[in-house]
Amino acid sequence: MKPRKYLMTAVAAFVLSACGGVNNRIPFVGAGESTAAQGGLGGGAGQAGQGGQGETGGEIAGPAPIPQLAAAQSGSLGSSCESLASFIFDKTKIVTATTVSAGTLTVAGIPIEEHCRVTGKMNERVGPVDGQPYSIQFEMRLPKNWNGRFLHQGNGGIDGSVATATGDTGAGQTNALKLGFAVLSSDAGHSAAQNPLFGMDPQARLDYGYAAVGTLTPMAKALVKLAYGRGPDRSYFAGGSNGGRHTMVAAARYAAEYDGFLAVSPGFNLPKSSIAQLWGAQQWATVATDLADLETAFPVAERRLVADAILARCDALDGLADGMVNDYQGCRKAFDIQRDVPSCRGARDGTCLTDAQKSAFSNVYRGPINSAGVALYANWPFDPGMVASGWAGWTFRNSVGANRGPVSAVIFATPPEPAKLADTLAYALTFSLDVDAPKFYATSGLYTESAISYMTPPNPENLDMLRNRGAKMIIVHGEADGVFSPNDTAAYMDALGRRYFGDESKFVRFFRVPGMGHVSGGPATDQYAGLNILIDWVEAGRAPSSIVAQARGAGNPSGVNADVPATWAPNRSRPLCAYPLIAFYKGGDPERAASFACEKASN
């Protein structure tokens, strides 16, 4: 490729994005550069961070070509499963190695072929603060018939349990183990019994944030090599929710070890989203009729009232009134809760909202802003998926429940405040954006990394290693996610666009899912072959401009989504468009993805 040349400017700056929490490097800008926000994918401009020829400016060469990675080659277990119990690796203890017969394990109704299950633990130790025993517990499932690939499964919540290592993300049509991957799962360095008090231990915090991944990866690859006679040809990382955060953190911290990343509904800025959850609880509490049940602030009848108003204003912006809002940007401008939802003149009866309810709604959807006017997290898109029970669970109960939002007092605050766990509702309702939120950025002599530091990479938009290796990342996020805003993920993509001048689409693509809740569910087309599409991009160079997703209506073999409206075809399909494009109706069967095209969203 002939090098491109850029005229450097004399100034570069670093900007901290207040709502997205991304340290955005403003690169040396050349004339004629395009960004993702200017429409289209894969703009042909150069990358940031390429150096220069002196402070006064000069010409610099363009980026190196992105290499194409070769496809993985299949193999098979070279020895008995039980013999893997003798595996030796530094600070590692194998507990069991047993054969699992074909059909013994099923995932979403799909029987899994014969494989070997290995369990073990790494880095056994005693915590210096609480005297508790800690280790990184794991399981690996190694199929008899191997596809030459390894997948690290990122798990959700606050971890603490070794979820079955299947590589199943969201409402996918298959799973990694079924496809022949060797799959790893772990508890991220603490047990469920230690939740959330593991936050008292400095190392357990780091393991939860990122260090367990760095510890486990070389061990897992060595075990794959022992099992199959060679290491994995291609390595992948996938997960949803906190597992999506694990995935995106690995893309920045451990890109040398992985070739493909699939992040679903990622809590990329998880400490900041916790602030938003606690802030939201405070807003809903002002209008709840029962503080023990914050959903009384905005029950389903009133949510449906608002959802219908959103649809009335926004549904047809994409050319078709179909119960879905594709044009999220246009809807942000078109919908006004003060104007579009009736105001109550008397008691609440499900046909109106009080002025106080409208104020609470507006505050929540705006996102938390401290007294200095600084946004501490992203805002939220208006989407009719708020009618789903899953949205209500994340919005009203996750913000105040045990092992949910209030665990921030122990896991994210420095120093930890375990006494706050005695009354999680009180902690949520008295959390101060000015006093308590800064504790998530704090360090001490014992806790040397802040929650913001260990939960997100130090330079999250720097994906140079990922790009230069030929690795790829796909991010999928639902518009009706009740805990992590897709607009926060969009802010991350915009930061990449500024760093890579629009070329980020050559190695990272983001797909928004109208109606989808957290990871799956909601009135949405939430089933798609994400892992297969990622493999095709990584190993065959076929970049996805869109992903065809379908609804899980009646008869879906992987499980029915009860949120799919009866008025939809049970297998309705839609294209999920690569950000910033959205799906517009072009004519034809309104239930089929082929009737839509991905185009630039409204300005």
Q: Is the pLDDT of residue 22 over 50?
A: no
Task: Print the domain residue range for 153.
Answer: 79-286+296-603
Q: Find the range with the poorest average confidence among 23-27, 157-161, 185-189, 507-511.
A: 23-27
Q: Which of 135, 161, 241, 408 is catalytic?
A: 241
Using pLDDT thresholds of 50, 70 and 90, give the confidence band for residue 584: very high
Name the helix (H) or strand (E) containing 179. Answer: helix 176-179
Residues in the chain: 603
Does this model's pTM top 0.85? My answer is yes
Told to judge if 293 belongs to the known catalytic residues of this protein, a careful annotator would answer no
Residue 41 lies in a domain: no
pLDDT of residue 422: 92
DSSP letter at 38 equals G
Q: Is the pLDDT of residue 54 over 70?
A: no
Q: Which of 327, 481, 503, 526 is catalytic?
A: 481
Told to judge if 518 belongs to the known catalytic residues of this protein, a careful annotator would answer yes
Residue 353 lies in a domain: yes
CA distance 247 to 234: 16
Residue 54 lies in a domain: no
- First CA to last CA across the chain, in angstroms? 35
Residue 438 lies in a domain: yes
CA distance 9 to 55: 9
Residue 59 lies in a domain: no
Q: Is the pLDDT of residue 563 over 60?
A: yes
Q: Is the pLDDT of residue 170 over 80?
A: no
Mean pLDDT of the chain: 90
Told to judge if 168 belongs to the known catalytic residues of this protein, a careful annotator would answer no
CA distance 338 to 241: 32
pLDDT tens-digit map of 424-482: 999 999 999 999 999 999 999 999 999 999 999 889 999 999 999 999 999 999 999 99
Q: Which of 518, 546, 573, 595 is catalytic?
A: 518
pLDDT of residue 98: 98
Residue 21 lies in a domain: no
Written as six digits, the tokens of 410 are 């122990």
Q: Is the dihedral of CA 234, 239, 243, 246 positive or negative?
A: positive
Residue-by-residue DSSP string for 373-429: S-B-S------GGGGSHHHHIIIIITTTSTTSGGGHHHHTSSS--GGGGGGHHHHHH
Q: Please tell me the total count of domains within the chain.
A: 1
Q: Is the pLDDT of residue 367 over 60?
A: yes
Q: Is the pLDDT of residue 39 over 90?
A: no
pLDDT tens-digit map of 98-108: 999 999 999 98
Residue 508 lies in a domain: yes
Q: Is the pLDDT of residue 36 over 70?
A: no
Provide, rounded to the nearest whole percent, the portion of the chain with pLDDT above 90: 85
What backbone phi and psi angles, to 5 degrees, belong to 125? -160, 175
Distances 85 to 99, 139, 215, 224, 395 between C-alpha atoms, Å: 12, 12, 19, 13, 44
Provide, rounded to the nearest whole percent, the portion of the chain with pLDDT above 70: 89
Q: Helix, strand, or coil here: 512?
A: strand
Residue 57 lies in a domain: no
The structure tokens 């957290």 sit at 518
Using pLDDT thresholds of 50, 70 and 90, give the confidence band for residue 529: very high
